[in-house]
A and B are shown apart, each in its own frame.
Chain A
Amino acid sequence: MQQKVPFYILLLLLVGIGLGSAIHRHIDLEVPWTPGETREVWSVEARLEFTARDKPVIALLAIPETQPGFTLLEQGTASPGYGLSYLTEEDVPAVRWSTQKATGKQVLYYRAQFLLDTRTDKVWPGPPEIEPAPILPELENVAAGRLLDEVRADSANQITLVAQILNTIKANDQKVSLLKQGRDDVELAIMLTQLAGVAARPVTAVNLRHNRRNQDGIPYLMVYEEDQVAFFNLQTGKEGKPARLLLWEMNGQPLIDLEGGRNTRISFSMARVIVPVQQAIEEKYRDLSPIRISLHSLPQEEQQLFRGLLLIPVGVMVVMIVRVLVGLRTSGTFMPVLIALALMQTALGAGLAGFVVVIFAGLVVRSYLSRLNLLLVARISAVIIVVILLTATFSVIAYNLRLVEGLNIMFFPMIIIAWTIERLSLLWEEEGAKEVLQQGGGSLMVALLAYVVMSNIYVQHLTFNFPGLQLVLLAFVLMLGSYTGYRLIELVRFSPLADKENTDQLR
């Protein structure tokens, strides 16, 4: 018992490492605890159209980056005949197209895939430097000054100030009408914020809505107040940022800078794709070292293999619980796990029926073989061959009768089944059919229990996506292995000992 302490430390270590790795995967790699979660991926396309003027063309298009709310997964262009470079290190990230000579209507496409992502490492860019206020004609200057005085009186900080400015622009006011001459609402709003000395960042955003084409960029204004950032839609004057608002350009620059063309026009179209969370995560963390990713990076076939493999410990644990805590015996220690695995490859009902049929047919064959006085090896080999033939036949018949689709009881571990048949038939001869039913049925029950646990989608999800949990299973199995308490059936078995009249001595 002196080894108890290191043993418990080992258990704690296993559980700690196992849970730790699972929690790490959940938090850092966003692997969800439950299956079936999905993510939105938006595919956004910017279409740049212009008329070339028989001269060299250089077109610069501002492009979006990963930002709070969106992670850039992938980007690309479609622009035959143009040289291409990404200027992502510049202050204003952009894509640059260039060509020696172009004529007529030109269309260039830029496409990006964005994951709608509540967890990015990016933060919004800070407030820009306050630009010197523009010099205005006297009359306008006075009007603007008055207007700002009024607005200031109604506001508490930068954000409310901008809100008030935008409100007044929408209102019917003489001063506003005066200022609006020669400016549109957006220009006026930006000018007034500059005059008011507010640190604000004009940006261009795209509102993502499924299957929209020909959308325009929307001017927004980001306003800063200490740690807070507020978004104002300059077209409507409304405050707030919808979750699916992608900021395309964040430096108050025009989206396009074109040399050698005219009639420029830019429009956006977008579509939403719902993808399983695993796929989204896979793409998001593609650049990280593979060890940090998961079994999902394996080819499909290997993945399938591992799915099954990682479930075995769960089945083994079920058998352990049944044996150590309940006290049921199974014929062949882990035989039930193998049966459960086989059942998972087939449909449950068909698998069970197939199993019973195979065992029964095997027993019949075996009872004939027993009259031939064969060696045990020969007998078992014969049973294996016959059992395989029978399974193949049953599979084909069942399939052709459309009893089941793609029934495949070939998955049963034939050698083990042959041994089981041998043991059961002996049991039959020595102890009778009742014992066979009891032991066989008991094993089948345990197999079913293991099957129910192993085919649970949550269990499958957890074992496959959090391989670290295997260590927790290991710790649990070790703990069960050192459990010295009574088994459930012993509470029944030894009940006569607790009975007064039953413990009376003979004399």
Chain B
Amino acid sequence: MSWLVSPRRLRELGVLGMNERNIHYIAGFNERRLFPLVDDKLKTKEIALASGLAVPTLIGVVRYQHQINEIAEVLHNQAAFCIKPAKGSGGKGILVIHDHDDELYYKPNDQGLTLGDVKRHLSNILAGLYSLGGQPDKAIIEQLIHFDDHFSGYSFEGVPDIRIIVFKGYPVMAMMRLSTAASDGKANLHQGAVGVGIDLRSGRASHAVQYDRVVHKHPDTGLPLSEVSIPEWDKLMVMAARCYEMSDLGYIGVDIVLDAHRGPMLLELNARPGLAIQIANGRGLAERLVQVKTFAERARMPDERVALVQQSFY
């Protein structure tokens, strides 16, 4: 096992690098003017609803400082919710409250926050602390996603989310991120979450890594990762494919969560999806991207594209 690999070998393996992703795929297939649609989660929600995709229900939006004072009333009726910055990324500024008694608000790890803490968090979001370049922001409050029993034992304190890379409307690679004790309930791979590569045909785990190394069992529960299988997989794939028509962006990362009651829901779109998905799948993206370029564009409906992909990539 060597810790260094030659550029030539990486190219042979079809690994997509950051510079190439930026120049060929993001700059090449994503029009700048469309970025605000996905960089603002509120707008994403709107266009998703307009095109009939399920999203977590919006409880409220905090736009101005004075609205924060009335926040207790808004939250009063909501047993569980999630507060996030509209222009945040990488999980920054996301506050998940799974229970509260109007005085203390409990995070998934049962740490209690006071109302003051919550208000300060909202005020930080508005001031742009979590947004790109520090620009002023909005805070979104939405209903909590209850995770599907299917994954109990596979995710520690967090909702597992599914990331699908969609290129020109064709889903090309997928992974699921399982939070672990090491990742502190966050689904960031570099913090120790488990990345599970998902087979595009079956929706079943094909490969899994933690800290970039292959794992076979969930590090906390010991459950075999090979048993991971996502229900309603084809529905997820079509949902991801439809995000192309919805956003007009050629190269996106679609984040989907499975809600126990409402099924797959679109969480967010990413115009600059990361490259760790390659490690989670144990294979490079480049080959599939090149192959998609040969598929005729737009001519097919989302479900046809999914079918084509499932024939071609395995």
Contacts and interface: CB of A to CB of B under 8 A. Distances in A.
Interface stretch (A131-139, A335-343, A491-499): A491-499
A504 interface: yes
A506 B205 contact: yes
A380 B283 CA distance: 45
A65 to B, nearest CB: 61
22 contacts: A324-B19, A373-B116, A375-B123, A376-B123, A376-B124, A483-B19, A485-B20, A486-B7, A486-B17, A487-B18, A491-B4, A493-B212, A494-B278, A496-B213, A497-B10, A497-B278, A498-B9, A501-B214, A502-B214, A503-B282, A504-B214, A505-B282
Interface in B1-47: 1-7, 9-10, 13, 15, 17-20, 23-24
Nearest to B20: A484
B19 A484 contact: yes
A426 B129 contact: yes
Contacts of A426: 129
B208 interface: yes
A482 interface: yes
B226 interface: yes
B86 interface: no
Given A491-B6, A495-B3, A497-B284, A376 B18 contact: no
Contacts of A324: 19
B5 A491 contact: yes
B129 A376 contact: yes
Interface string B205-236: 11111001110100000000110000000000
A497 B1 contact: no
Given A419-B134, A502-B214, A506-B205, A490 B17 contact: yes
A496 B279 contact: yes
Interface string A224-239: 0000000000000000
B4 A492 contact: yes
Given A485-B7, A494-B278, A507-B226, A376 B127 contact: yes
B293 interface: no
B300 interface: no
A494 to B, nearest CB: 5
Interface string B263-283: 000000000000000110011
Contact of A502 (B4, B123, B282): B282
B291 interface: no
A495 B19 contact: no
A491 B213 contact: no
A492 B2 CA distance: 9
Contacts of A493: 212, 279
B49 to A, nearest CB: 31
A494 B19 contact: no
Contacts of B92: 430
Nearest to B129: A376
Contacts of B226: 506-507
B63 to A, nearest CB: 15
Interface string B95-132: 00000000000000000000010011001101111000
A502 B280 CA distance: 10
A498 B283 CA distance: 9
A375 B127 contact: yes
Interface in A421-448: 422, 426, 430-431
A327 interface: yes
B165 to A, nearest CB: 16
Given A485-B17, A490-B18, A502-B214, A497 B4 contact: no
Contacts of B7: 485-486, 491
B15 A497 contact: yes
Given A487-B19, A504-B214, A506-B226, A375 B279 contact: no
A503 to B, nearest CB: 4
A327 B123 CA distance: 34
A505 B207 contact: yes
Interface residues of A, number: 34
Given A377-B127, A505-B206, A497 B283 contact: yes
A507 B282 CA distance: 13
Given A375-B123, A490-B10, A484 B214 contact: no
Interface string A76-99: 000000000000000000000000
B65 interface: yes
Contacts of B214: 496, 501-502, 504
A373 B129 CA distance: 14
Contacts of A487: 17-19
Contact of A376 (B9, B128, B279, B283): B128
Contact of B212 (A375, A377, A496, A506): A496
Contacts of B191: 431
Nearest to A373: B120
Nearest to B1: A499
Nearest to A377: B127
A333 B5 CA distance: 28
Nearest to B6: A491
Contacts of A482: 23
Contacts of A377: 127
A377 B123 CA distance: 10
Interface in A455-507: 482-487, 490-499, 501-507
Given A490-B10, A491-B7, A495-B4, A484 B23 contact: yes
A377 B126 CA distance: 10
Nearest to A506: B226
B10 A491 contact: yes
Looking at B9, B18, B126, the one whose CB has the most chain A CB atoms below 10 A away is B18
Contacts of A497: 5, 10, 13, 15, 278-279, 282-284
Nearest to B208: A506
B250 to A, nearest CB: 15
A419 to B, nearest CB: 7
A419 B209 CA distance: 36
Given A375-B123, A491-B5, A498-B5, A327 B65 contact: no
Contacts of B212: 493, 496
Given A499-B1, A505-B282, A494 B10 contact: yes
Contacts of A501: 1, 214
List 10 A-B pairs, minimum CB-CB distance, nearest first: A376-B127, A503-B282, A484-B20, A506-B226, A486-B17, A498-B5, A495-B5, A486-B7, A496-B212, A494-B15
Given A484-B19, A502-B213, A503-B283, A495 B2 contact: yes
Contacts of B124: 376
A419 B127 CA distance: 12
A430 B90 CA distance: 13
B273 to A, nearest CB: 16
